Structure 1
Amino acid sequence: MTKHSIPHELRNHLVDQIVKASPPGLYDTRVEEAMRAVPRHDFIPRASLELAYANQAVTIKDNPDPDALPLSCASQPDVVFFMLAQLGIQPGDNILEAGAGTGYNAALMRYLTGPAGSVTTLDYHEDVAAHARQRLDATGFGDVRVLTRDGALGAPEYAPYDRLIATVGVWDLPASWWEQLAVGGRMVLPLRWRGLTRSVGFVRETDRLRSESLATCGFLPMIGQDGEREGYVDESRLVKLYWDADQPIHPLSLRRSLAEAEEHLLWTDVVVAPEEPLDGIWLRLSALDPATCRITVRPEAFTGTAGLHRPAVPALSPALVEGDSLAYLVLEPVDVRSGKRYRLGAAGYGPAGQGLAERLSVQLRAWGNDRTLLPSIAAYPSGTPTGNPTDGQIIDKPSVRLVIAY
């Protein structure tokens, strides 16, 4: 594509790339048609055509805190594609969206519902909602309802909904969404737990939501949900943990264990290619070990002779933390006949560091035996009895009980 390319050429080129790389099972020919028809650049008029049709998120509302995440973004187009594929919109559907953004996603959904359908989109920020309203009116989607309100409240005045989608990271599942989604309807949301985020496609059953699909994604967190915790381990603020409110994790209790850097390093026979995703390891840990959380380590902490072992992904690696001990995922290059590969292992620190490293290694080997297997996720209203805990890892949040199992 050259700088003289016209919008529809850029748009079709982007969609071609997205379709080619779409995750297995998450392709929908009607979503492809919608993304070729609806002009993304009209919803982000301040962006260049090249940026509008690049496969990346675009900030539309900055945060006054320079160290914080933006307040609103236009989602990355490939994520838009697979989330709408998860949603499975049918002609005539009544749809609720939490997080209006630019209005582009609502326009795609309105296109997919056809003349008999309807779309209601909500945003907490008045100026963001106003932008979405103006852009939808200007692009022929004036019948999309745009409401300025907390997305967690939903819009009961237009319920029940056949489809519900959140385009913000959701840590807890508001009770209002249960009430407003019809039995048999679908809900897609970027669900956050144990330091990770996955787009989960749920089907509403009488007493629960049952997952049908999972995909890796990243979204700005929903305003008003404060169940996620974070904290630095060391005085130099180089090592940081992210965990959930129900977990008894206290970063400062790990300070001595990391400062002494007495390392327990365990390597497995699990080998990965340079670009092979490691997301399934984290999913498996979250379903099978209650100590699972996230660790980020700045480069200064693992350089030099006395540093920590480098995490597999320094900015985003799974860890196990109990008391004054932790273990996290590591890798190292190895030479094999098929080319450069990486061997996976675990680095443990603290009195129980070796045991935690062994637990992590067990799950590495299990993942290595079946790298495509995904867990099932069931969501129940808070307080619902869910039977034998061995049926899956139970994670309780204020409004929802998750059961994650393999």
Structure 2
Amino acid sequence: MATVRHDDGDDAARLRAAMVDELRGDPITSTAVADAMGVVPRHLFAPQTSLKEVYESNTAVPVKRDRDGLTLSSLSAAHLQATMLEQAAIGPGMSVLEIGSMGYNAALLAELVGPAGHVTSVDIDPDIVERARAGLARAGYDRVEVVLADAEYGVPAAAPYDRIIVTFDSPDIPPAWLEQLAGDGRIVVPLRMKGVTRSIAFDRDGDGLISRDYRLCRFVPAQGDGAHAPRRLTLDTEVYLSVEDGEEAGFEVAALQRALRRPATRSWPGAAFDLPDELELFLLTGSPRMALLHASQTRIKEGLLNASAGLGVPALIAGDGSFAYRIKRAARQGGDAFECGVIAHGPSAADVAARYGDLLCRWAGRFRRRGAARIRYLPAQTPIPQEANPGGVVRKRHGSVVVAWPENPHPPGGISA
């Protein structure tokens, strides 16, 4: 049952109902989330945007940009908001902290927790706080508390929280968030690891956290004391590697630059290409010598690198600067199937390509499934498990992310299965 009733016109009501219908089944799987998204007037939180655009399920609405045009704050796509709400599993009477405010998502949270619950929303930007408060007032959700503060430190006054939901790309999990999370609480955070971001639903696990679910996502970057400029190693004009802090020392940039100028080799190890976001995470956490390789469309059109590097592709780096990365093509058996290939550059191209191909075949035959990874967050000073794969340990400022891959008890069919 809606906690606030609205009379917002036939067009808005029709578009909102169509948006919810489109999201049912995936990502909306619960009646509670469907009902909340069915009653909250999303358009009141983006009054300068057309109704059609506001209610497009996969469209984010930018509301503030910096001088260079970079989006600082946006009304996230409804598809992504529904995904994170389902991950959070919010119930009536809960206390929820939203980190990163825009108003609309806080209203959805207010519907989910009901009159007995409480929602606190925090943002560092005074303009965004004012905008969120105004939208919530227009929509009738004045009981949501919107706080102006640096989200790095949470909002201790209303802690502990049964749920914490973060709505920006987070390079780490600050100690304050863990301290303010209830003992049986859950945090849903878009966590950045080795150049990629996943929305991870974490539950408490001893001193740290353990994942219950993770999904592909994209958000605006963090601001304030938690902001972090991505580390990049430039290999050529508009070609670079994304690395974690401290990883750059392990890569010889001059050797990589020389390797890039050598002719490329191409091989096809016979591994299925499937679930690309899962494969990406597996590769990046499969070896400590993996980094995300990027190239602009200009350099791709010039033939310097394959199109797979356009949005970033995991690259395996050898000690002499040789490197290999993944490509794909239609599988020989036809249909809709694809298979993975490997492009390699450098003096030991054949060797690094073979090692990359082995990772691809391991993925296809032993780990290929949705949600296969087990992700733990361990605060600083917490020992890393001895059995952890070095490639799966991502060091952060406040702790470490440890990614493990339990084998599939029912290997999939197809290439390399």
Give the TM-score normalised by the residue count of structure 2. Answer: 0.88
Matching residue within 348, 351, 355 for 2:344: 348
Contact 1:171–1:228 under 8 Å retained in 2: no
1:116 aligned partner: 116
1:86 aligned partner: 87
**Structure 1: gaps (5+ residues):** none
Measured against aligned partners, the alpha-carbon deviations of 1:197-236 in whole angstroms (never above 9, x if no partner) come to 10000002331111000101011121233263024311xx
1:27 aligned partner: 29
1:73 aligned partner: 74
User: RMSD of the TM alignment (CA)?
Assistant: 2.0
Q: Which moved more, 1:246-255 or 1:191-200?
A: 246-255
Q: SS state of the match for residue 29, structure 2? A: coil
Note the C-alpha offset of 1:14.
1.1
Note the C-alpha offset of 1:245.
0.8
1:405 aligned partner: 404
The 1:136/1:5 distance shift into structure 2, 3 A limit, reads closer
What is the CA–CA distance in structure 2 between the aligned matches of 1:317 and 1:5, rounded to whole Å? 45
Q: SS state of the match for residue 261, structure 2? A: helix
What is the CA–CA distance in structure 1 between the aligned matches of 2:89 and 2:24, rounded to whole Å? 16
1:38 aligned partner: 40
What is the CA–CA distance in structure 2 between the aligned matches of 1:199 and 1:255, rounded to whole Å? 34
Measured against aligned partners, the alpha-carbon deviations of 1:1-57 in whole angstroms (never above 9, x if no partner) come to xxx9711111111111112432xxx72221111011111111111100000011211
What is the CA–CA distance in structure 1 between the aligned matches of 2:240 and 2:292, rounded to whole Å? 8
2:411 aligned partner: none
What is the CA–CA distance in structure 1 between the aligned matches of 2:10 and 2:115, rounded to whole Å? 32
Note the C-alpha offset of 1:336.
2.8
Measured against aligned partners, the alpha-carbon deviations of 1:114-162 in whole angstroms (never above 9, x if no partner) come to 1111111111111011100111111111111111111111001111111
What is the CA–CA distance in structure 2 between the aligned matches of 1:404 and 1:124, rounded to whole Å? 31
2:170 aligned partner: 170
The 1:121/1:230 distance shift into structure 2, 3 A limit, reads same
Q: Does 1:390 align with 2:388?
A: yes
Q: Does 1:9 align with 2:14?
A: yes
Q: SS state of the match for residue 285, structure 2? A: helix
Contact 1:124–1:150 under 8 Å retained in 2: yes
Measured against aligned partners, the alpha-carbon deviations of 1:150-183 in whole angstroms (never above 9, x if no partner) come to 1111001111111001000111110100100011
Note the C-alpha offset of 1:319.
1.8
1:290 aligned partner: 288
1:317 aligned partner: 313
What residue identity is the alignment partner of 1:127? D
Which runs of structure 2 are paired with 1:203-214 in the superposition (5 Å)? 203-214=203-214
Aligned length: 388
Identical columns (%): 33
What is the CA–CA distance in structure 2 between the aligned matches of 1:345 and 1:217, rounded to whole Å? 26
What is the CA–CA distance in structure 1 between the aligned matches of 2:148 and 2:349, rounded to whole Å? 49
Q: Which moved more, 1:125-134 or 1:312-321?
A: 312-321
Matching residue within 229, 232, 235 for 2:231: 229
Q: SS state of the match for residue 147, structure 1? A: strand
What is the CA–CA distance in structure 2 between the aligned matches of 1:296 and 1:185, rounded to whole Å? 37
The 1:117/1:174 distance shift into structure 2, 3 A limit, reads same
Q: SS state of the match for residue 21, structure 1? A: coil
The 1:315/1:143 distance shift into structure 2, 3 A limit, reads same
Give the TM-score normalised by the residue count of structure 1. Answer: 0.90
What residue identity is the alignment partner of 1:365? C
What is the CA–CA distance in structure 2 between the aligned matches of 1:27 and 1:316, rounded to whole Å? 31
Contact 2:40–2:108 under 8 Å retained in 1: yes
Q: Does 1:358 align with 2:359?
A: no
Contact 1:183–1:206 under 8 Å retained in 2: no
1:332 aligned partner: 329
What is the CA–CA distance in structure 2 between the aligned matches of 1:345 and 1:332, rounded to whole Å? 7
Measured against aligned partners, the alpha-carbon deviations of 1:287-328 in whole angstroms (never above 9, x if no partner) come to 321122212222333446xx3341435223222234522211
**Structure 2: gaps (5+ residues):** 1-8, 406-417
What residue identity is the alignment partner of 1:170? S
